[in-house]
Amino acid sequence: MRLFAIIEYDGTDFEGFQVQARKRTVQGELEHALLQITGAKIRVIGAGRTDAGVHATGQGAHFDTTWNHPPGALQRALNAVLPDDIAIRSLVQVADSFSARYSAFSRAYRYTIYNQTVRSPLTARYALVFPEPLEADAMDTAARYLVGKHDFGAFGTPPRGENTVREVYRAHATREGTRVVIEIEANAFLYRMVRRIVGTLLLVGRGGLTVEQFREVLAWQRRAGPSVPPQGLCLIEVKYEGLSR
């Protein structure tokens, strides 16, 4: 049967989701745990290949198994042997035609900026510590121009092929006390797309780029800002038709 999992992980000590030779990855740990429990080598297919240092609270993944007990029993067994920085939040049976990657119609990321002059050692593991004042309203105005179908090549490169057109369903920046949180949901993302968008929005927030100039970046008329570090980025949700978290 085919099972679908929602996975949460702290990406700090991983070299990303996808298996890499002699490197610690989320996919590698999941497949090792399945081998321990079922005795079979099982390939895990993720909805997205998060980079090194990127976290997830809603990563989707599927795998095929001959496990003959309820999915809940396998979920408990996996969580018992997985390392502390990975957990299976839910596990359900799906149709054999379902794909965690290709059946997804959107993915949503959140980037967190800790906007305070005094650094925070505990926060720094999951947010970008940024000491300069930020105008979150200007960042939000700029972010909303991302919504729609655009060529996002100014912000990233395609993981394969040459197509850089993606459709963004929502994008916004909000201030939550000392934090500025940026969320973007799209049908798919280019490599480093979110991190470069955030880097460019930071220029807007600190007054180094106007909202109109941000639009020029989107139109490939101006260079994008730098890519921000990975620790502030989290894959929060992958949406599928007919499936709820």
Catalytic residue positions? 51
In this structure, the strands spanning 104-114 and 233-240 are antiparallel
Q: Is 213 helix (H, G, I), strand (E, B) or coil?
A: helix
Give 25-88 as a 3 state SS string: CHHHHHHHHHHHHHCCCCCCEECCCCCCCCEEEEEEEEEECCCCCCHHHHHHHHHHHCCCCEEE
Q: 10 Å Cβ neighbour count for 186? A: 22
Distance CA 59, CA 37 (A): 21
Q: Is 217 helix (H, G, I), strand (E, B) or coil?
A: helix
